[in-house]
Amino acid sequence: MAHRHASRPTRSSAPTPPLALAGTLLQRTLRFAEPPEAVLARTLSGANRVGQRLRHALADALYGALRALPQLHWRWQRLQGGTPAPLDVAALRDDAPACQALMALAWPIDAAPWLAQADATSAEVVAEWQARAQAVSLDDAPEAVRLGLPEWLVPRLQAQVGGELPLLAAALRAPAPVDLRVNLLKARPAQAREALQQALGGTVSTTPYAPHGLRLPGRTRLSGVPAYEQGWVEVQDEGSQLIVALVGARRGETVVDFCAGAGGKTLALGAEMRDSGRLYAFDTVARRLLALPARLARAGLTNVVTMQLRDEQDERLERLAGKVDRVLVDAPCTGLGTVRRHPELPWRHDPASVAQHAALQQRIVAAAARLVRPGGSLVYATCSLLREENEDVAAAFTAHHPDFVVQPAAERLAAARVPQAQALVQGPYLRLWPHRHGCDGFFAAVWQRHG
């Protein structure tokens, strides 16, 4: 007797509308559990996988919303008919309709066709929100809203740049260029520049300050580009390159990158040392060091020793106490100088987190200083804009370590053949500002240890 098999009904779930996906992206990003690029990768996978053009549009909308979060929130509240209240990120990330509306306002105009092809309803909602928002002025909005900054951050930056604050805020909202460092172990700057121009078909310029830096026009994908794959160039912001120039590492020396992270400055230090001597790359988080061996191999570096530290007091550091020629402390910080690349950062920090970072920075630089030999040098650097993490930490270290004498950063930069070195400093310190120098915001102090 033949068996009869009943066919099971198949469930077909409709794809999530693009605008709902967009709102989810913003909600997840504002939880600050992972950076925006990780949120994009995790959210736009599996059943939510979308085409490349729509994916790019969603990414642009997310970064656009983060860069203009207070302005978009103000306009959205006005369109709701109420009196705008201060932006509360914790409340916003739990409000799905609000996040969808903000992402609709941030949707890039040139990506409207891809949205319409994917979902006509989402396209209509975006067009309606954007048309209505054009009538909403920011003239009566609070200063922090007009600047696109958290309220707590405005007076701190105002105290440092004064009337330049609108220029700084505008620079922080603008997307960053792609900067490259030429690896002198494998290529000359002119050689690398010519190779990139041929491969990319666009103009590649030199950076105005970093001697071995190149700048690409707009967003550029380097995967598959021969000059990148062969290790001729590495992605590194011009400001980061200037920190390495300040260290002044030389052939045959012993050098420590105390907070190496993913190793961008480690690679640059190794090239400055011409792959000689001994270069140590330390970090307390193992995953940050995972990609470094492959990057070292591509760059042609063999003199690097990597090590995960328990913390800044790791007993293994005693082996190097008083023996190191140069120590770089690229300290953990709020990262507010890199907002062009990480526009979520202003919203994940507050005065309490700034104070916590400053306390940690003081502990780290004091621990790293023990490694410096008499006559050797110590560089403390951050990618923060805030005095609490920069000048205040440097001043506290100087006050408690009389055997370390501050060295003028301008002299060190000039010795590294950095042009216009005097324009890059404030007092004895390196001070880079996005609106003045066109790179990420950086601070650095240099000391020499006396006997």
Q: What is the pLDDT of residue 13?
A: 57
pTM of the model: 0.93
Does the structure show a pLDDT above 70 at 8? no
Q: What is the pLDDT of residue 374?
A: 98
Q: What is the pLDDT of residue 81?
A: 86
Q: Which residues of 355-370 are buried (b: 16+ CB within 10 A; e: fewer)?
A: eebbebbbebbebbbe
Identify the three-state secondary structure at position 136. coil
Q: Give pLDDT tens digits for 161-184.
A: 999 999 999 999 999 999 999 999
What is the average per-residue pLDDT within 96-101?
96
Residues 99, 259, 383, 439: which is the catalytic one? 383
Q: Give pLDDT tens digits for 355-411.
A: 999 999 999 999 999 999 999 999 999 999 999 999 999 999 999 999 999 999 999
What is the average per-residue pLDDT within 308-330?
96
Q: What is the pLDDT of residue 16?
A: 86
Identify the three-state secondary structure at position 360. helix
Active site residue 383: yes
Give residue 79's pLDDT band: very low, low, confident or very high (50, 70, 90).
very high
Neighbours of 428 (CB within 10 A): 17
Identify the three-state secondary structure at position 29. helix
Please count the helices (runs of H) and the strands (runs of E) in the chain. 22, 13
HSE value, Cβ hemisphere, 13 Å, CA-based, for 433: 18
What is the average per-residue pLDDT within 268-296?
95
Q: Give pLDDT tens digits for 102-154.
A: 999 999 998 888 888 888 999 999 999 999 998 999 999 999 999 999 999 99
Q: What is the pLDDT of residue 103?
A: 97
Identify the three-state secondary structure at position 35. coil
Q: What is the pLDDT of residue 293?
A: 94
Q: Give pLDDT tens digits for 17-29.
A: 999 999 999 999 9
Q: What is the pLDDT of residue 10?
A: 42
Range 231-449: architecture per CATH? 3-Layer(aba) Sandwich (3.40)
- Which residue ranges are tagged as binding site for S-adenosyl-L-methionine? 283, 311, 330
What is the average per-residue pLDDT within 85-101?
95
Q: How far is CA 37 from CA 43, 60, 92, 325, in A?
A: 10, 11, 20, 38
Which two tokens mark 233?
A: 């160039």
Instruction: List every span in the chain annotated with CATH 3.40.50.150.
Output: 231-449
Q: What is the pLDDT of residue 154?
A: 98
Q: What is the pLDDT of residue 187?
A: 97
Q: Give pLDDT tens digits for 332-371.
A: 999 999 999 999 999 999 999 999 999 999 999 999 999 9
Point out which residues pair with 21 in neighbouring strands: none
Q: What is the pLDDT of residue 451?
A: 75
C-beta contacts of 402-408 below 8 A and 24+ residues apart: 403/449, 403/450, 403/451, 404/369, 404/372, 404/378, 404/447, 404/448, 404/449, 404/450, 405/447, 405/448, 405/449, 405/450, 406/445, 406/446, 406/447, 407/377, 407/446, 407/447, 407/448, 408/446
Q: What is the pLDDT of residue 219?
A: 78
Q: Give pLDDT tens digits for 415-437.
A: 999 999 999 999 999 999 999 99
Does the structure show a pLDDT above 50 at 7? no
Mean pLDDT of the chain: 94
Give residue 15's pLDDT band: very low, low, confident or very high (50, 70, 90).
confident
Does the structure show a pLDDT above 90 at 218? no
Distance CA(260)–CA(307), nearest Å, equals: 10
Give residue 6's pLDDT band: very low, low, confident or very high (50, 70, 90).
very low
- For residue 382, report the phi and psi dihedrals to the nearest 5 degrees: -140, 165
Which two tokens mark 267?
A: 């690679």
Distance CA(125)–CA(128), nearest Å, equals: 5
